[in-house]
Structure 1
Amino acid sequence: MSILEKIRPQFWDTDASMGPGKSLFNYRRIWRFAIALLAVVALVPLCVMAFIDYNVTRHSMESENLLRTARTTSNTRRTVAFFLQERQQALEFLAFQQGVQNLRQQESLEMTLKSMQSSFGGLVDLGLIDAKGSQIAYAGPYDLLGLDYSQQQWFERALQQGEYVSHVFRGFRDEPHLVIAHKVVDEPSGKAYVLRATLDTEQFNAILSSIDLPGDGDAFIVDQDGMIQTPSKQHGELLAQVDLPIPEFSEKTSVRVVLGPDNTRYYVGYAYVRGTPFIVMVVKNLEDLMKPLQTIRMELLWILATSVAIILIVIVGVATYMVNKIYIADQTRARTLHRMEHTNRMASIGRLAAGVAHEINNPLAIINEKAGLINDLFTYKQEYAHDERLLSNIRSIIDSVSRCGKITKRLLSFARHIDVEKDSIQFKGLAEEVIDFLRKEAEYRSISIVMDIPANLPEFISDRGKLQQIFLNLVNNAFQAMNDGGELHIAAKTGEKNTLVFTVADDGCGIPSGDIKRIFDPFFSTKKRNGGTGLGLSITYGLVQELGGSMFVESEVGRGSVFTITMPIEASKEAK
């Protein structure tokens, strides 16, 4: 036998060979439909969940990258603002403490410069400029004394605003630098001066170069015209126009997805530094940031493919198993119908036999009576008393009648097994009969049995054998639920509407609330590990209904169970 023949479903060849009208079901079609339906039900939610998971992960990564970019941009802006503000305040304090007269003296200005360089760093030189724009005092490495700054934008802004931070420019020294200027008024004369400090661009640039950015990330400063103020890795030379768009002024940090000149998408964080012409820009390559998503996508695809393969294997196996079971059940149904037909025929024969036996018994009784009378007459009359031949024939007739009587009794006994026997039942006696079957087990397990059955409980009409089976099943089920030393309580009372109510209560393990609705289903059992078949309560429930009664259960885990049966005092015509 090949492997294919071993795994081929039992219904496969049957369906293939059956002609039209010879089978109730097309098992191959059922099998295919079951696989398709289960696959749709199982795989569609799986694929939807995988798609949702991927999108949630992607959105989460995008949100995380946006948040990190915004946080980096905001932190950088605060650092730049603090760097500039610290030196602005130092320059303001210097102007207030020294005054114009001290600042105009060369030695005093040089000592002040050295003091500020040692305290703050980042200062290249100091200069004092009068209202006409002429630098009247200077301390620093360049020869700038006497230069005219009247045409410089930063000089005009400083006189107007009181203080000013310039953008990076070359100026007279032809080197990139930026200026912090503060307006100073000489109190005796009332004349205005501008105290100017040049900042070291290397220290200024170091603020951004120290930022740790993933991949090809870039952080630099531009002015509001888009001119690059600090070195950039990829987006232009110093003092050149940046190749990315500049947004309108905003007090808050903003992050945008921007398309670069090479069609590369970037996350760009913008933050305006208050009181300065500077805009902090943090640029990250979107493709580099989303590379982990590609790995996640491949892993998700592998997991999805593996799950789909496993689910399909399980679905095919389950569908094959279930359709096989349906096929077997259908075959069993056909055999059962055949046996039922045979049983009905036997029942008809039994009823016929009962009728024949009854009809034959009457003439047999007459023959037996007359033959006995003749035998008595022949025995007492001397003329026939010694006629052995005649007496032998008479005895032969009586023996034959007795033999026929036994045959009719067997026929009647066969008929009784087919029909239900109704009898007047006194429940107390029936309960004692049932308990006698299990009394030894109760004594062995120290289970006490309490019977609360009134003596005046009315008799009722029912099938004694079925009632015995019902209560025997309930008592046996209670014994299985109880531990040694438990208590079984059997009670009976008169109910409403001409009924009797019987209860069988135990203090055993109880039934979980989730199982109460299924406890009477066939093959459902909480004791299968201990040998339970799940048929006892199902059969009991069916017998109660056959007798025209009803049955329900109340149970609590750890407290026990109570089975209540309500039976009519008079058997209904429908009860079977």
Structure 2
Amino acid sequence: MGKEIADATYNFLDGETGNETGVVPVPGNYVFDVKRMHQFGLDSINLPKGAELVNKTPGFYEQYKYWVIGVVAAFMFLIACFLIAVYYIVRINHLKDNLEKSGEELLVAKEKAEEANRLKTAFLANMSHEIRTPLNAIVGFSSVLVGDDATSEEKAQYCDIIQKNSDLLLHLINDILDISRMESGRIKFVEEECDVVELCQTALSTAEYARRTQAIYQFQTPVSSLILKTDAQRLKQVLINLLSNAGKFTPSGFIRLAIKVNKEDNCLEFSVTDTGCGIPAGKSERVFERFEKLNEYSQGTGLGLSICKLIVENLGGKIWVDKNYKEGARFVFTHPLNEK
């Protein structure tokens, strides 16, 4: 650019004006040497706009750019490995928990299987004894009836024994079918309106008809009539079972069926009280289990109270043994009070 200006000046001084050369500004920028600026004590703040600096000391990132990229990449790789490790640790712990839970469930299933096997053995042992006893009586006395040696009175007595053992066998089979259907949920409860007082009197009459004791049957009620919506047949079955059970262990004294209206808990309380041998303290809760019997040599399968509990719970009530009563045994159960 300087050379062109000089040439144009010489030509102008020599009078050569025919070929004029104009001065053309060329766009450019300011370039400053940083080291020289430091020598002169100049500050980069006061430089013109757009000025370029050379010999500038590179920054930390520019100087260690690849090191920084490598360290960041390694750090990210370690974080990724840590997250993968955490994922697998959590997954292993989850699988461990599931394995422990499965082990516990397997242990419970094993215990249930062992319990079922024990109950099956107990069931077969009880059934073989309970069924064989009335069958032997029926077959034996039927054979005696066929002969001509027995008198008419003896034959009447044998017929009575056969009838009682037939009823016992039928009751036994009905108990087995009832508890099987109730536990499998295949039995339906049909609710209808009935007079509870009349129902109790019918159950009491049925128990008295099959009397096996010298005890006096009593009925205690605060009302002469009470209409409830319930399954009358199942409720009567509970009452008859409890009364019959009391008759087995009460040779004398009394057996009392009582009802009481409990407005506070909105329920009707039934109780069967006897003056029999009572229930040992350790068996007051176990009597409602299947095949549980106070006396192993007494008749019965140990299913009656289990059936009572299932029926009462299906009717919306509870059943228990009154531990405060010491003169015999007292069974109490409730029924929701939906009187009209």
Give the greater-gyration-radius structure (CA).
Answer: 1
- Asked which structure has the greater RCO (Cα within 8 Å, sep 6+), the reply is 2
User: What TM-score do the two structures reach when normalised by structure 1?
Assistant: 0.26
More strand by share: 1
TM-score of the superposition, structure 2-length normalised? 0.43
